[in-house]
Amino acid sequence: MLSFITLLSLVGSGLAVRPFLGSADTGIELALGSTANDSLPDLKNIVGLPDFEWVAERYLNATRWSFFRTGAGGEWSYRNNLESYGRLRFRPRVLTDITRVEASLNTTLFGHTFSAPFFMSPFGRAEFSHPDAELNLVRGAAEENILYIASMHASKTLDEISAAKAPGQVTGHQFYNEGTDADTLAYFKQVEAAGGKAIFFTVDSAGDGNRHRAARWNVTSVDSGYTYATWDYYKHLGNLTSLPIIPKGIQTVEDAKLAVAAGAPGIFISNHGGRQLDFVPSALEVALEIYEEAPEIFQQIEVYADGGVRYGSDVLKLMALGVKAVGAARPLAFANLYGVEGIKKALQLVKHEIAIDAANMGLGDVHQINASYIKLNNPTWNGWYS
Ligand SMILES: Cc1cc2nc3c(=O)[nH]c(=O)nc-3n(C[C@H](O)[C@H](O)[C@H](O)COP(=O)(O)O)c2cc1C
Ligand SMILES: *[C@@H]1O[C@H](CO)[C@@H](O)[C@H](O)[C@H]1NC(C)=O
Ligand SMILES: *[C@@H]1O[C@H](CO)[C@@H](O)[C@H](O)[C@H]1NC(C)=O
Ligand SMILES: *[C@@H]1O[C@H](CO)[C@@H](O)[C@H](O)[C@H]1NC(C)=O
Ligand SMILES: *[C@@H]1O[C@H](CO)[C@@H](O)[C@H](O)[C@H]1NC(C)=O
Ligand SMILES: *[C@@H]1O[C@H](CO)[C@@H](O)[C@H](O)[C@H]1NC(C)=O
Ligand SMILES: *[C@@H]1O[C@H](CO)[C@@H](O)[C@H](O)[C@H]1NC(C)=O
């Protein structure tokens, strides 16, 4: 029998192994720590996406910071989203021709070409970090030719967002089934009139997110109450628009298969940034489940993913399993403190990181990445991957 003391030491050592690092210490405190909390460090001193979060935590007031930062429950999924990338190792190849890696970043999503396999996930209340809110997001996306997916609960109206679009700019639009069919039809018509080319139907929010951090400041879900939808309803939506409708919030291989069976042109693996149900897997874990049990899905339809993406290497790990494009939300919400210049900088940083990391992996074409570039069955995953 295991003695209480042995058990205690096991528990103790387990805790001692790896404290959670919301973001790793890369020396920002040493470089920018003397900046007053009520002023923004010069944008030129921002070197990566996590830096925007460091700035936001100091600059935003408690209400606004807590709204963006919150996860559900004890925030295990929030932390796991960030940490799971650290459990997967690369298998870089050397002495290959990588001269065209930057030119290979272009990515075609639902028939439209963007400059990278990276996009801006939808998030509400962008006005919490900048008065121009989503206008900066859509303008930054246009300048960098990146897909922007506008939240249905944006601070600005769809008309205002639409008016800020560059000529011909392709956007995606997020949808919650909150109203009647007539409301939904009206929303889809508005999206079509605004030049939207895809609808991302959020399916991970049947109930409210249990958000303790946000509840303290009365800023929990933007949408509230229970919502009812089924795969039959998903199919029915196809009668209300000719745009592709991509279910956002797929978290199991079973639902990925049901999406294919329902005729979905794509799926979006997401746990809503860990803001809905705690103890759900990260996008990387779900992508692994699909890769193991139904890898053909990555060929059949376009697979999108997000959650905790902060580095170019995170993007590449998801792509290695077959994910077509990878998104982020909080880093853009925080970059928006700097307005459109901040959004552009964030997008440029991600693109550059994807390119240099791919080069260091020996990839001459980022889209050639596959599972041979990551180490599956790593024993340090400790039962996470069997
Ligand atoms: C402040 C905030 C608001 C969000 N609002 C929405 C929303 O309106 N609709 C939606 O589908 N997802 C929403 N999300 C989820 C994001 O689209 C995305 O799935 C998730 O945040 C990605 O994780 P990341 O923030 O770690 O990058 C929101 C996320 C945040 C952080
Ligand atoms: C600045 O913000 C940080 C992070 O929120 C906090 O720890 C610190 O106490 C703040 N400093 C001042 C002077 O308010
Ligand atoms: C933060 O600022 C907003 C806008 O001014 C305000 O509504 C909110 O009450 C503030 N929160 C705190 C904790 O001061
Ligand atoms: C990438 O796409 C853009 C916009 O469609 C296009 O102008 C550019 O030539 C493409 N680059 C390459 C290397 O194909
Ligand atoms: C919380 O915010 C909502 C609006 O978002 C408001 O209607 C409600 O009165 C607020 N509740 C409290 C306790 O302040
Ligand atoms: C219309 O809706 C029905 C279910 O209500 C569905 O079976 C059918 O596929 C839909 N048609 C289109 C074009 O999406
Ligand atoms: C992965 O890519 C490498 C390099 O292009 C190729 O040699 C290998 O056959 C591919 N493996 C799989 C499983 O597709």
In this structure, which ligand is nearest to the CA of 125?
A: 1
pLDDT value at residue 378: 62
Q: What is the pLDDT of residue 381?
A: 56
Best mutation site among 113, 170, 367 for ligand 4 pocket (most ligand atoms within 8 Å of CB): 113
pLDDT in tens, 170-183: 999 999 999 999 99
- Rounded to the nearest angstrom, the distance between the alpha carbon of 306 and the centre of ligand 4 is 24
Mean pLDDT value of segment 296-310: 98
Does the residue 383 lie in any domain? no
Residue 67 has pLDDT above 70, yes or no: yes
Q: Which pLDDT score, from 0 to 100, does residue 223 have?
A: 62
CA of 247 to the centre of ligand 5 (A): 30
Centre of ligand 2 from the C-alpha of residue 157, in Å: 34
Contact 349, 144 (CB under 8 A): no
User: pLDDT tens digits for 117-157?
Assistant: 999 999 999 999 999 999 999 999 999 999 999 999 999 99
Distance 218 CA to ligand 5 centre (A): 6
Confidence of residue 9 (pLDDT cuts 50, 70, 90): very low
Residue 38 lies in a domain: no
pLDDT for 20 = 72
Residue 372 has a pLDDT of: 97
Instruction: Tell which atom from ligand 7 comes closest to the C-alpha of 93.
Output: 4
Ligand 3 and 131: CB distance under 6 A: no
Count the neighbouring beta carbons within 10 Å of the beta carbon of residue 294. 15
**191: which residues sit within 8 A by CB, 6+ positions away?**
158, 173, 199, 241, 243
Probe ligand 7: pick from 93, 370, 373, max atoms within 8 Å of CB?
370
Summarised one tens digit per residue, pLDDT across range 315-336 is 999 999 999 999 999 999 999 9
Residue 310 lies in a domain: yes
- Which atom of ligand 4 lies closest to the CA of 145? 4
CATH number at residue 243: 3.20.20.70
Model confidence over 222-278: pLDDT tens digits?
Answer: 667 899 899 999 999 999 999 999 999 999 999 999 999 999 999 999 999 999 999
Q: How far is the CA of 334 from the centre of ligand 3 (A)?
A: 17
**Tens-place pLDDT, residues 74-100:** 999 999 999 999 889 999 999 999 999
In a domain, 313, yes or no: yes
Q: How confident is the model at residue 4 (pLDDT cuts 50, 70, 90)?
A: very low
- pLDDT of 2 > 70? The answer is no
**Ligand 4 atom at shortest distance from the alpha carbon of 113:** 5
Residue 379, pLDDT above cutoff 60: no
> If you measure from the C-alpha of residue 219 to the centroid of ligand 5, how many angstroms do you get, rounded to a whole number?
8
| pTM (2 d.p.) | 0.94
SS (H, E, C) the chain: CCCHHHHHHHHHHHHHHCCCCCCCCCCHHHHHCCCCCCCCCCHHHCCCHHHHHHHHHHHCCHHHHHHHHCCCCCCHHHHHHHHHHHHCEECCCCCCCCCCCHHHCCEEECCEEECCCEEECCCCCHHHCCCCCHHHHHHHHHHHCCEEEECCCCCCCHHHHHHCCCCCCCEEEEECCCCCHHHHHHHHHHHHHCCEEEEEEECCCCCCCCCHHHHCCCCCCCCCCCCCCCHHHHHHHCCCCCCCEEEEEECCHHHHHHHHHCCCCEEEECCHHHCCCCCCCCHHHHHHHHHHHCCCHHHHCEEEEECCCCCHHHHHHHHHCCCCEEEECHHHHHHHHHHHHHHHHHHHHHHHHHHHHHHHCCCCCHHHCCHHHEECCCHHHCCCCC
| Domain count within the chain | 1
Task: Please write the tens of the pLDDT for every residue from 352-372.
Answer: 999 999 999 999 999 999 999
In a domain, 194, yes or no: yes
Q: Is residue 4 part of a domain?
A: no
The response to whether residue 96 sits with its C-beta less than 6 Å from ligand 7 reads no
Domain contains 302: yes
Whether 163 is covered by a domain: the verdict is yes
Q: Could you tell me if the CB of 26 is within 6 A of ligand 7?
A: no
Residue 330's domain comprises 107-356
**Of the residues 365, 372, 375, 376, which should be mutated to test ligand 7's pocket, given the most ligand atoms within 8 Å of the CB?**
372
Regarding the beta carbon of 372 and ligand 7, being less than 6 Å apart is answered: yes
- Of all residues in the chain, the percent with pLDDT exceeding 70 is 91
State which of 63, 66, 219 you would mutate to test the pocket of ligand 3, scoring each by most atoms of that ligand within 8 A of its C-beta. Answer: 63
Mean pLDDT across the chain, nearest whole number? 93
